[in-house]
Structure 1
Amino acid sequence: MYNFLISGGIALVAILVIILSAGASSWWWAILVGLVLFGGSFLLISRIVMKKVLEVMETANRDLQAQRVDKSIRELKEAFRYSKWQMYVEGQINAQIGMIYYLKRDFSNAFPYLEKSFGKNWVAMGMLAITYMKRTKRDKMKETFEKAVQWSPKESLIWALYAYCWTECEDFGQAKDVLERGLKKLPGDEKLKANLEALQATKKMKMKVYGDMWLQFHLERQSVVMKQQAAAMGGMKRRIVRR
């Protein structure tokens, strides 16, 4: 990582200069100055690099909103050049690209990017875990979800998604355990509580309460999604007629 090497080089040079000019007895002072210079230069370079990365992501997001999906992906890929400068940049870019492919249902292209995505991006982790589930790799699914809930324990949907995937695997015991763990992290979360009660009553989980955030994972049947969209359009037309 260039940032670490440059910052370390600056600190080392400062330490050597102080020791050579002031004598070996000043080693403690030299190290202190070196640490300050290392921290300052590392922080400065990090801010510069992340500013450039965020600019690329904002541009890519605007293109995505304008339905220029391929252009958005190309722009994100160009940001990989900053990955050698700053830790976690590569994982964040991989997560963004993987999510875009997943959202457009290009699951085969999404998978390699999601595999290398940043663990703190719980949406990308959820998509990756679902992909493992569909490939009947339950151990990998569990491992990925565990990483997601470890990084984002306060996200209600990731706990519900984790449990839902266990129900898809017909392991309702694991699903209940996950929801109980989620409620320990989010006591009073009505959505998790309602879904746990549903499973205890041998009923299906209700994921629609999470709205569009749930739909982005493409676990709802297409026919159901189309009915929901048609119902929404019908309600909109009725509101227009009344006006």
Structure 2
Amino acid sequence: MYNLLISMLIGTAVAASLTLFAEVDYWIAVIAGVIAFTIPFFLITRFIMKKIGELMNIAQRDIQAGRSEKAIKTLESGFKYAKWQFYIKSQVNAQIGMILYIKQDFAKAFDYLQKGFVRHWVAMGMLAVCYMKKQKTSKMIETFEKAVGGTKKEPFLWNLYAFCLEKVGEREKAVSIMEKGLKKVGGNETLQANLEALKEGRRMRMMDYGDIWYQFHLEKPGALIKQQTKAIQGRRKIVRR
């Protein structure tokens, strides 16, 4: 990465110059070299991340205005910074993959999500769901494990993990994951309620998470409304009797 290389060259040059030409003590020269490395590395990192942040903000506005294709092109322009800073490419891939996934262009989304940033838990969750839809359960579990390993305190992620496990017929493992999630999160009403639902053989209630849940396209708002309507109608019939 250019940032690391440039900073190392500056740090090395400063340390060598102080040792060879100024006859400064070796350890003082090393400390000066470390400082000379740190300052440009920090400044370049800050500059690059500011540029990426600006692109993300522009893309977000385009998404909100319904211009997803323009948002993707904006994000793609961020690839030019990939050689300057670690993880830039994977972060941009994660963002583009998310946009394509939300658009339900799952094939294209999968290609980007595979190259996404492992600590971007939403993108990792979407990648895991893609593996589930491809009937690659082991890869789904592997991806979820990476996601919860990097983001232990996010309740929704544990719920999503368990939901997908239950969907592929791994109810007992889903219960185990929810129990583990409760310990990591430190207590959560929705986690607890869904854990009890799994133990009792009932359906997990994910709609409480709203938009963040629906963007995974595992349930449709309309279908849930129909289910609720039928349930209400059923209760009314029981009352009438």
TM-score, reference length from structure 2: 0.91
Residue 98 of structure 2 aligns with which residue?
Answer: 99
Question: How many Å separate the matches in 2 of 1:40 and 1:187?
Answer: 39
Alpha-carbon deviations, 1:23-63, whole Å to 9, x = none? 3x621111100001111111010000111111111111111
Residue 234 of structure 1 aligns with which residue?
Answer: none
| 8 A contact 2:158–2:181 mirrored in 1 | yes
Counterpart residue identity of residue 95, structure 2: Q
2:221 matched to 1:217? no
1:227 Cα shift? 5.2
Counterpart residue identity of residue 61, structure 2: R
Could you tell which deviates more after superposition, 212-221 or 162-171?
A: 212-221
Alpha-carbon deviations, 1:181-237, whole Å to 9, x = none? 000012320101001111111111111111111111000047516759xxxxxxxxx
The alpha-carbon distance between structure 1 residues 185 and 116, as it changes in their structure 2 partners (threshold 3 A), is same
Question: How many Å separate the matches in 2 of 1:12 and 1:138?
Answer: 49
Question: How many Å separate the matches in 2 of 1:41 and 1:92?
Answer: 23
- Unaligned residue ranges in structure 2 (runs of 5+): 228-241
The alpha-carbon distance between structure 1 residues 9 and 42, as it changes in their structure 2 partners (threshold 3 A), is same
Per the alignment, in what secondary structure is the counterpart of residue 130 of structure 1? helix
Residue 18 of structure 1 aligns with which residue?
Answer: 18
TM-score, reference length from structure 1: 0.90
Question: How many Å separate the matches in 1 of 2:13 and 2:177?
Answer: 52
Residue 239 of structure 1 aligns with which residue?
Answer: none
Question: How many Å separate the matches in 2 of 1:111 and 1:168?
Answer: 20
Runs of 4+ in 1 over 2 A off after TM superposition: 225-228
Residue 230 of structure 2 aligns with which residue?
Answer: none
- Unaligned residue ranges in structure 1 (runs of 5+): 229-243
2:154 matched to 1:155? yes
Counterpart residue identity of residue 25, structure 2: S
Alpha-carbon deviations, 1:117-151, whole Å to 9, x = none? 11111100000000001111111111110111111
Instruction: Spell out the pairing of 1:190-229 with structure 2 (5 A cutoff).
Output: 190-221=189-220, 223-224=222-223
Percentage of matched positions with identical amino acids: 49
Question: How many Å separate the matches in 2 of 1:203 and 1:226?
Answer: 18
Question: How many Å separate the matches in 2 of 1:226 and 1:79?
Answer: 40
Count of aligned positions: 228
| 8 A contact 2:214–2:220 mirrored in 1 | no
